[in-house]
Amino acid sequence: MNDIEVLSVGDVVTDAFIKLSENEAHTFSNQDGTFLAMEYRAKLPYDQADIIKGDGNAANASLSFAKLGLRSGLASNVGQDQHGSDIIASLKKSGVDTSYVKVNKGKKSNYNYILRYQADRTILTHHEQYDYDWPSIAKKDMPKWVYFSSIGKNTLPFHDDIADWLSENHEVKLAFSPGTFQIAAGAGRLKRIYKRTNILLLNREEAAEVSDGNHKDVHDLFDKLHALGPKQVIITDGPKGSYASGPEGRLFMPVYPDSSPPIERTGAGDAFSSTVVAAVIKGEPLQEALRWGPINSMNVVQHIGPHEGLLTEAQLKTMLKNAPEWYHSSPL
């Protein structure tokens, strides 16, 4: 067992990325949203397929932490199949401790299909039903941080187990980047998690849903999110940049300029969130941590999938050194 600095918690999956031919698909919009369309009952060619093992918000974060030089582990679930074995092997090869990845007998591993069209994607997702059990962690193996993110439905008792464990281990700090199910469960049901959170990370739409605040007023979002308990709150707003609130005050951070048009955006948010948290773990103040996140996020979208573009600390600091003069946070 390694001395884990940050233990990521959440589901892990194999993703099959399928690049659709722009001659065979198109998008259209109406009052209900924007939709991807292809000919029904047709046999359509596609341009490219890529299989990436060990995806998922928490898994992506665990790989980002490892790449940035932290001792990183993952607590998750896989099935008793080849996909599960391949996921574990891939994580280990990338330096992630998989001691807390549970192999569920008689179950399949999660497998998604991601339809790539231009620079964006549509994800066909399916979560297997596992028996989620919080692992027994010896005091000598206690992580300094837990990074908790997206997990499947029917896991509310598991959240209670984590809340109990955090209550018993006050020295462990928590970064929480809730996924779809966790947001839908409501802040009231997960109030013990929110209250225990050191860093809460959400996009603007999620922040409004969790807080029931004014989407147009970031200060209102911050006020209502802090009322839930988190010490620091970070809200991303796509190409508009990101916002942070904590003891250092409230800050705005612009995005790092793309080196070229994005190829594929999967994992950009995970790269941003995990990199900001990694910088904080390494002792950087929030103002500097906010400069780290957009760089890793920018580089991830220059590659297919959430892993290939992840930077080492040395690579990231080189880009920071060469960043434009305007690339810094400012008071909000």
Split into its structural domains, the chain has a count of 1
Q: Kindly state whether residue 37 falls inside one of the protein's structural domains.
A: no
What is the per-residue DSSP string for 27-58?
Answer: EEEETTEEEEEE-TT----EEEEEEEEEESHH
Per-residue pLDDT for 1 more than 50?
no
pLDDT digits (tens, 9 = 90+) for 157-175: 999 999 999 999 999 999 9
pLDDT digits (tens, 9 = 90+) for 230-283: 999 999 999 999 999 999 899 999 999 987 888 888 889 999 999 999 999 999
d(CA 299, CA 292): 11
Q: Kindly state whether residue 138 falls inside one of the protein's structural domains.
A: yes
Grouping H, G, I as helix, E, B as strand and the rest as coil, residue 12 is: coil
d(CA 293, CA 285): 13
Q: What is the mean pLDDT of residues 133-152?
A: 94
Task: Write phi, then psi, for 269 (nearest 5 degrees).
Answer: -65, -40
Q: What is the mean pLDDT of residues 295-299?
A: 96
Average pLDDT, the chain: 95
Domain membership of residue 305 as a residue range: 6-12+55-110+134-331
Q: What is the mean pLDDT of residues 221-228?
A: 98
Q: Kindly state whether residue 283 falls inside one of the protein's structural domains.
A: yes
CA distances 259 to 170, 173, 238, 311, 316, Å, are 42, 35, 17, 14, 14
Q: Return the structure tokens found at 96.
A: 């992630």
pLDDT digits (tens, 9 = 90+) for 57-101: 999 999 999 999 999 999 999 999 999 999 999 999 999 999 999
Q: Kindly state whether residue 120 falls inside one of the protein's structural domains.
A: no
The model carries a pTM of 0.94
Per-residue pLDDT for 119 more than 80?
no
Q: Kindly state whether residue 257 falls inside one of the protein's structural domains.
A: yes
Per-residue pLDDT for 289 more than 60?
yes
d(CA 16, CA 145): 31
Q: Give, rounded to a whole angstrom, the gap between the first and last alpha carbons of the chain.
A: 43
Q: Report the pLDDT value the prediction gives residue 172, as an integer from 0 to 100.
A: 98
pLDDT digits (tens, 9 = 90+) for 4-62: 999 999 999 999 999 999 999 999 999 999 999 999 999 999 999 999 999 999 999 99
Q: Report the pLDDT value the prediction gives residue 216, as an integer from 0 to 100.
A: 97
Per-residue pLDDT for 2 more than 70?
no
Q: Report the pLDDT value the prediction gives residue 166, as an integer from 0 to 100.
A: 97
Q: Kindly state whether residue 35 falls inside one of the protein's structural domains.
A: no
Q: What is the mean pLDDT of residues 129-136?
A: 93
Q: What is the mean pLDDT of residues 111-117?
A: 95
Q: What is the mean pLDDT of residues 127-133?
A: 92
Between vectors from CA 228 to CA 222 and to CA 230, what angle results, nearest 5°?
Answer: 70
Q: Report the pLDDT value the prediction gives residue 127, as an integer from 0 to 100.
A: 85
Q: Kindly state whether residue 23 falls inside one of the protein's structural domains.
A: no
Query: What CATH code is carried by the domain that includes residue 235?
Result: 3.40.1190.20
Percent of the chain with pLDDT over 90: 91
Q: Kindly state whether residue 46 falls inside one of the protein's structural domains.
A: no
Q: Report the pLDDT value the prediction gives residue 124, as an integer from 0 to 100.
A: 95
Confidence of residue 114 (pLDDT cuts 50, 70, 90): very high
What is the per-residue DSSP string for 240-254?
Answer: G-EEEEETTEEEEEP
The DSSP letter of residue 3 is -
Confidence of residue 185 (pLDDT cuts 50, 70, 90): very high
